[in-house]
Amino acid sequence: MRVDVISIFPEYFAPLDVSLMGKARDRGILDIHLHQLRDWTHDVHRTVDDTPYGGGPGMVMKPEVWGEAIDVVIAEALAGAADAAGPSVPGAGEARAGLGVPGEAGDEAAHEGLLLPRMIVPTPSGRPFTQEVALEYAKEPWLLFAPARYEGIDSRVMAEYGSRLRVDEVSIGDYVLAGGEAAVLVMVEAVGRLLPGVLGNAASVADDSFAPGAMENLLEGPVYTKPPSWRGHDVPEILLSGHHGKIARWRRDEALRRTAAKRPELLARLDPEGLDKRDRQVLDEIRGRADTSGG
Ligand code: JAH
């Protein structure tokens, strides 16, 4: 997957060199390109913001700068992908090889067939970013993130690119940040770990909280490792039993109980078709307790 990020703080994305995302990049699974928005300004002050029409506090990011930045980033990525795919004239490949020009083989950034990116603008007024959205983005070959600062980007930028490519205004939660960069880090990590070959164990994705299927709208239960007893706290005996069927059932019970305790609003979203007899029994016990405690 190719990811472009245009920001006035490209250095904010240094954490993407670390750990799982760093490895995904080293392996060429995740190809992240960072761009300084101010590179597309034309004034000595490299101005990216201006006062809001209609008045009010704060500043708004200027549309012309974003427009040039997005146009050039897309055009250069497409030109690079065409280069990497090689010449369409038969025989020219040998000429290129003779000149020592790198071809597609061994070219880690050889994105063939890039059309247009999906553009993602983080904003508190956007659609909620969920595991479902992360899975959807993980299927895309190319994402372009446009994190704003100040009070946001002039809305005409989203209108313009909304008619040229797919634009999503997305929120990672109901709070206001100082800018969209931290939200981009969150989204790139949530999407990046879902890319084929990034996680060692594909099963761990299916068992995640919120994963489509059995864990949809459920939180994962508690986890434990050695030692079996620590400061008087014992690992639940069932986990030491080696009874894999019973362990799976206990984990599901705990997921249901934890979801009821911490995110009761999620229970209403459980698919009744996805609940077995024991699931319903656990939920009845939880509701019974809730009903008696309420009086
Ligand atoms: C704040 C531009 N959903 C979290 C979120 C995302 C973006 C922003 N704030 C919160 C934000 C200022 C300027 C974006």
Whole-angstrom distance, CA of residue 46 vs CA of residue 149 = 15
The one-letter code for the residue type at 278 is R
Whole-angstrom distance, CA of residue 168 vs CA of residue 150 = 19
* Element spanning 205, H or E: helix 202-207
Nearest in space to 115 (alpha carbons), one of 64, 69, 166, 170: 166
Task: Please tell me the number of Cα atoms within 13 Å of 107 on its side-chain side.
Answer: 16
Q: Is 50 a catalytic residue?
A: no
Is 183 touching ligand 1 by the criterion CB < 6 Å?
Answer: yes
- 243-262 per-position pLDDT tens digit: 999 999 999 999 999 999 99
- 103-139 per-position pLDDT tens digit: 443 344 467 689 999 999 999 999 999 999 999 999 9
Q: What is the pTM of this model?
A: 0.92
Is 209 touching ligand 1 by the criterion CB < 6 Å?
Answer: no
> Taking the chain, what is the end-to-end CA distance rounded to the nearest angstrom?
55
- Ligand 1 atom nearest to CA at 171: 3
Catalytic residue among 2, 149, 193, 252: 193
Residue 142 has pLDDT above 60, yes or no: yes
- 175-194 per-position pLDDT tens digit: 999 999 999 999 999 999 99
Catalytic residue among 10, 63, 124, 141: 124
Cβ atoms 221, 258 nearer than 8 A: yes
Helix (H, G, I), strand (E, B) or coil at 285: helix
- Distance from Cα 117 to the centre of ligand 1, integer Å: 21
Q: Is 151 a catalytic residue?
A: yes
